[in-house]
């Protein structure tokens, strides 16, 4: 989930100076329009990894906009007064009114994640708390609130460098405590717990936006532009639009050219002789693994997605060549039939799940809802936004039922795709 925020996004000083004035002007205008209309409140959650710039980002937002109409809350250890009430009481009492922006530096996610991290709560308890939070946020959204949740992320190595840099500078040394380094030692567990919590609680009403936090200029522009986009979308929408349609996740505007796909090295090659030797070797190992008694206690789901002509079909043929034909099914996913259209979109995939000791290989899959159906306009924005959470739930149920789920995206360049089309 966090891999897309570990690409090394960075913005040059010149680009930042060029884009900042207009962004600040538009943000301030949107804030005043919000204040004037006073139709809904804006709730901003700024969370993330230690050292990812949460505090700096909150300060910058207050600098860019009118701080008189922003309420910033950093709720840490509950006071004795707060401990006498239900845990959510202290958040309820500081929710922003319509027309105002409320920024939560620590939010209702902090305590559940911390409890799970310190092993004071089991995963089932974390799930239950996430469910309560989801219902809370849905109620806020149904009441008209615009909820924007930002997770500022750092890779483990970036966090180490960030902490060392802050500690080295006399002006910022005070900000790094023994607690920060103690937290760093459990980075891997924190990442696992946080990823689980975010996946559970990213909903159409209140989605999470994950932003790489290593470069301040990129971080500030990404957060600022996402807030502006979401604000303008709500402010400029027709009066009779539903909140469900309006509560779409803010898409980070294109600030640089980095993406998971364009960072792939598409020039990698394997010689024919080495390929044939390796293929025979691994097909044999795969076949032997499926003959082991333990294989009867699990099932395998393989998902192949990617560009047309990227090699999904040929790759699947190489895999099935190493399997017993009695133990697998290849399910090509085309346009839904009339029968399938009459059911929820995941229905046709549920009915093709394999038994224990079997493979199901999907040539295109349930990701069509957020790929071709989204691109071609076959489903509404509310539908494909909702699908992300539904897909996560679906795959989590598979894993809990002893299913190995492996997903492959096959990528080729635009030029190579055209060459293959012409060759065909």
Distance CA 387, CA 406 (A): 19
* Both structure tokens of 410: 């096959």
Return the pLDDT at 246: 44
Residue 271 has pLDDT above 70, yes or no: yes
Q: What is the DSSP string of 254-268?
A: --SS--TTTTS-TT-
Return the pLDDT at 162: 85
Q: Give the residue among 148, 142, 144, 143 at the shortest CA–CA distance from 229.
A: 148
Q: Looking at per-residue confidence, does 123 or 66 come out higher?
A: 66
Give 244's pLDDT tier (boundaries 50, 70, 90): very low
The CA-based diameter of the chain, rounded to the nearest angstrom, is: 74
Give 245's pLDDT tier (boundaries 50, 70, 90): very low
Average pLDDT along the chain: 90
Give 387's pLDDT tier (boundaries 50, 70, 90): confident
Q: Where are the domains of the chain?
A: 3-246, 272-423
| φ/ψ bin of 51: left (φ > 0), alpha (ψ from -120 to 50), beta (otherwise) | left
Residue 404 has pLDDT above 70, yes or no: yes
Q: Are 299 and 354 in contact (CB under 8 A)?
A: yes
Q: What is the pLDDT of residues 131-178, one digit of tens each?
A: 999 999 988 998 889 999 999 999 999 989 888 888 888 887 887 778
Q: Are 204 and 382 in contact (CB under 8 A)?
A: yes
Return the pLDDT at 86: 76
Work out the angle between the directed axes of helices 123-142 and 110-117 (0-180°, nearest 10).
170
Residue 240 has pLDDT above 50, yes or no: no
75-84, 104-113, 291-300, 371-380: least confident range: 75-84
| CATH entry, 272-423, from 3.40.190.10, 3.40.50.300, 2.40.160.40, 3.30.60.50 | 3.40.50.300
Q: Looking at per-residue confidence, does 342 or 41 come out higher?
A: 41
224-228, 271-275, 341-345: least confident range: 341-345
Return the pLDDT at 251: 64
Beta-carbon contacts of residue 46 (< 8 Å; ≥ 6 apart): 54, 57, 58, 103, 104, 105, 150, 152
Return the pLDDT at 250: 62
Q: What is the mean pLDDT of residues 238-256?
A: 60
Beta-carbon contacts of residue 265 (< 8 Å; ≥ 6 apart): none
Q: What is the mean pLDDT of residues 277-287?
A: 96
Query: Whole-model pTM above 0.85?
Result: no
Q: What whole-number percentage of the chain has pLDDT above 90?
A: 61
Q: What is the mean pLDDT of residues 336-355?
A: 87
Third-level CATH fold of 3-246: Rossmann fold (3.40.50)
Give 241's pLDDT tier (boundaries 50, 70, 90): low
Q: What is the mean pLDDT of residues 108-114?
A: 92
Q: Are 42 and 248 in contact (CB under 8 A)?
A: no
Distance CA 369, CA 291 (A): 35
**SS3 state at 311:** coil
Q: Give the residue among 327, 295, 424, 364 at the shortest CA–CA distance from 319.
A: 327
* Both structure tokens of 202: 């990213």
Q: What is the mean pLDDT of residues 286-293?
A: 96
CA 11 to chain centre: 22
Residue 319 has pLDDT above 90, yes or no: yes
Counting Cα atoms < 13 Å in the Cβ hemisphere of 46 gives 30
Work out the angle between the directed axes of helices 187-201 and 178-185 (0-180°, nearest 10).
80
Q: What is the pLDDT of residues 344-353, one digit of tens each?
A: 889 889 989 9
Q: What whole-number percentage of the chain has pLDDT above 70?
A: 96
List strands edge to edge, sheet with 208-212.
70-74, 101-106, 42-48, 146-153, 208-212
Q: Looking at per-residue confidence, does 79 or 419 come out higher?
A: 419
Return the pLDDT at 248: 54
3-246 against 272-423: fold identical: yes
């Amino acid at each position: 989930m966090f891999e897309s925020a570990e690409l090394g996004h960075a913005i040059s000083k010149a680009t930042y100076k060029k884009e900042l004035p207009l962004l600040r002007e538009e943000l301030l205008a949107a804030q005043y329009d919000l204040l004037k209309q006073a139709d809904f409140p804006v709730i901003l959650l700024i969370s993330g990894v230690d050292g990812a710039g949460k505090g700096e980002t909150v300060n910058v937002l207050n600098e860019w906009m009118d701080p008189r109409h922003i309420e910033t809350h950093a709720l840490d250890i509950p006071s004795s007064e707060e401990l006498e009430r239900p845990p959510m009481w202290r958040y309820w009492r500081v929710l922003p009114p319509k027309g105002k922006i409320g920024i939560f530096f620590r939010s209702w996610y902090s305590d559940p994640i911390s409890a799970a991290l310190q092993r004071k709560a089991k995963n089932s308890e974390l799930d239950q708390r996430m469910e309560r939070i989801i219902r809370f946020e849905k109620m806020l959204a149904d009441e008209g609130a615009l909820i924007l949740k930002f997770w500022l992320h750092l890779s483990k190595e970036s966090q180490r460098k960030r902490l060392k840099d802050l500690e080295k500078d006399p002006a910022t040394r005070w900000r790094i405590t023994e607690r920060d380094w103690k937290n760093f030692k459990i980075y891997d567990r924190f990442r696992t717990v946080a990823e689980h919590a975010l996946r559970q609680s990213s909903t159409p009403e209140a989605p999470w936006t994950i932003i790489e936090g290593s470069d301040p200029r990129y971080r500030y522009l990404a957060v600022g532009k996402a807030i502006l986009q979401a604000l303008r979308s709500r402010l400029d929408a027709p009066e009779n639009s539903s909140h469900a349609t309006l509560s779409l996740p803010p898409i980070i505007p294109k600030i640089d050219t980095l993406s998971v796909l364009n960072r792939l090295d598409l020039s990698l090659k394997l010689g024919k002789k080495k390929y044939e030797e390796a293929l025979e070797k691994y097909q044999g190992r795969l076949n032997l693994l499926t003959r082991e008694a333990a294989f009867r206690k699990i099932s395998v789901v393989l998902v192949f997605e990617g560009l047309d002509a990227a090699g999904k079909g040929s790759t699947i043929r190489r895999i099935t060549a190493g399997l017993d034909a009695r133990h697998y099914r290849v399910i090509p996913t085309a346009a839904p039939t009339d029968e399938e259209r009459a059911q929820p979109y995941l229905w046709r995939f549920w009915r093709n799940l394999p038994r224990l000791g079997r493979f199901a290989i999907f040539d295109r899959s349930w990701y069509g809802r957020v790929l071709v159906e989204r691109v071609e306009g076959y489903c509404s924005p509310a539908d494909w936004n909702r699908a992300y959470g539904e897909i996560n739930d679906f795959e989590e149920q598979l894993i809990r039922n002893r299913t190995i789920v492996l997903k492959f995206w096959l990528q080729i360049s635009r030029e190579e795709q055209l060459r293959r089309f012409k060759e065909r």
